[in-house]
Structure 1
């Protein structure tokens, strides 16, 4: 029983880590309809920003908001220079963000090299019978829940959230009542990128900063958002826990390859029976 409880807790932690990496993509794709194939590189951007800040003597906890701010600024520039011209052209947006992904990856290789020093995980653990689990990965469960609640209230209870949803759903009506759709879209994309930067920074002790670190997240994150369907946040949370947590449980009892096979097989099965996403028939839509 101790081993089973440790596996379940570890699997929930793994699912939370995947959800943290997914929420930014869920906001951009679910709210704006933009498929950002450079999402993994925004995670990388946040990780390197936090790593650079800590190397300059900034405490790790303070490097996280710095990484978020820098990633948001960079995301706003990307929206203004690239994405703004491609709304409604999904295939062109995919090509543009894929090209941006390649460019950012190569820039990271040139600037930082292929290997970077890590910052180390806090050496705290909890004992479950004969088994020991690191505290920091378990803390990601709380971080993921806090992110979900924060983003939910931002998009549903704030003036900005109402403007953002109006600017995307009925842009002509939003402009008619004085909402600046362009600025709102820029802020929304920047927030999605900032969430990706937050993921890269907060996961830095677990996933060291490398130019290819985003590849480990972007495919599974994208599949989670697709399986989630129109109810972006709740659907993504359920998908991440079911698919990511299930894959982690399989990996614990078998191999990591078996866990990945389970993840992709479950994705195919869910999309076969729910082609519009598991939340397509839910009553609430966020």
Structure 2
């Protein structure tokens, strides 16, 4: 593989990993459960802060990242029990409630911890191919993104819990009548979604400066990825990430990151206009 070709793949993998890791949790909470979680970025921030805190205490980075994801998942289940559960049939109210939670968490972190926390540095070093230098950790993030996609597919498509969860999301009353513990299903699903958000923050903690508003960096991309993926999030999220990654990679290389961001959002508007049901609707029709 030539250096130029690998450079193209590397840039694609970097953007793809960012989109998948930031959107995976939202694909469950928003795409499957229908909850507009405006605090998604704060769960990402939680994962990042817990990771850095544990590493500074001497915990190895991989273990710290796993513990951070579990912490975000547990907090998410508590939030679901105390706040979100009351608004499943009221999407606008859930938006306002989670937005309020987002503001409270962000401002509390600013008051308690301050505007910035010293990072831990990017691990794994770098390698060179031809005249290009690449970060090994960025490829690790790509592998993690693929693993997350595979894990979600197995959990929600190949396990008994996944079958019950999908049935509950489609028709909670019928699932409950058939014996499903819908409250528990919602709680676990929301916990998985927030754990994935925490994992995203944990994985990206070594690559960025930690500030209480860092979650906003991930929120826009995660929402647009889930939205253009369509109703079938398990089928549509990955193609949406591939499509957006290709557009953003091409524009970043030619015109810079700002134009890449604008171009990606413009492409999202076009897709929603042409395919209001998202990319998964096309894939479902072709699969019939």
Contact 2:227–2:278 (8 Å) recurs in 1: yes
> What CA RMSD, in Å, does the superposition of the two structures yield over aligned residues?
1.6
Is 1:173 the counterpart of 2:177? The answer is no
1:42 alignment partner in structure 2:
43
Contact 1:7–1:252 (8 Å) recurs in 2: no
Unaligned runs of 5+ in 1: none
Distance 2:146 2:280 in 1: 19
Q: Give structure 1 regions of 4+ aligned residues with deviation exceeding 6 angstroms.
A: none
2:164 alignment partner in structure 1:
163
User: How far apart are residue 11 of structure 1 and its match?
Assistant: 2.6
Equivalent position SS for 1:204: helix
Distance 1:66 1:160 in 2: 23
Q: After TM superposition, list the pairs within 5 Å mapping 1:161-240 onto structure 2.
A: 161-240=162-241
Contact 1:108–1:211 (8 Å) recurs in 2: yes
TM-score normalised by length of structure 1: 0.95
Contact 1:44–1:200 (8 Å) recurs in 2: yes
Contact 2:19–2:225 (8 Å) recurs in 1: no
The count of residues paired between Structure 1 and Structure 2 equals 285
Q: After TM superposition, list the pairs within 5 Å mapping 1:23-34 onto structure 2.
A: 23-34=24-35
1:15 alignment partner in structure 2:
16
Distance 1:148 1:254 in 2: 30
Distance 2:177 2:54 in 1: 44
User: How far apart are residue 4 of structure 1 and its match?
Assistant: 4.9
TM-score normalised by length of structure 2: 0.94
Distance 2:213 2:140 in 1: 24
User: How far apart are residue 170 of structure 1 and its match?
Assistant: 1.9
Q: Which moved more, 1:107-116 or 1:44-53?
A: 107-116
Equivalent position SS for 1:279: helix
Distance 2:150 2:41 in 1: 23
2:6 alignment partner in structure 1:
5
Equivalent position SS for 1:197: helix
Q: After TM superposition, list the pairs within 5 Å mapping 1:249-264 onto structure 2.
A: 249-264=250-265
| Cα deviation code 1:192-247 (max 9, x no counterpart) | 00000011101111133221111111011101111110221331111112213421
Equivalent position SS for 2:133: strand
Equivalent position SS for 1:118: coil
Q: After TM superposition, list the pairs within 5 Å mapping 1:69-108 onto structure 2.
A: 69-108=70-109
2:116 alignment partner in structure 1:
115
User: How far apart are residue 64 of structure 1 and its match?
Assistant: 1.2
User: How far apart are residue 123 of structure 1 and its match?
Assistant: 4.6
1:271 alignment partner in structure 2:
272
Is 1:137 the counterpart of 2:145? The answer is no
Distance 1:95 1:8 in 2: 40
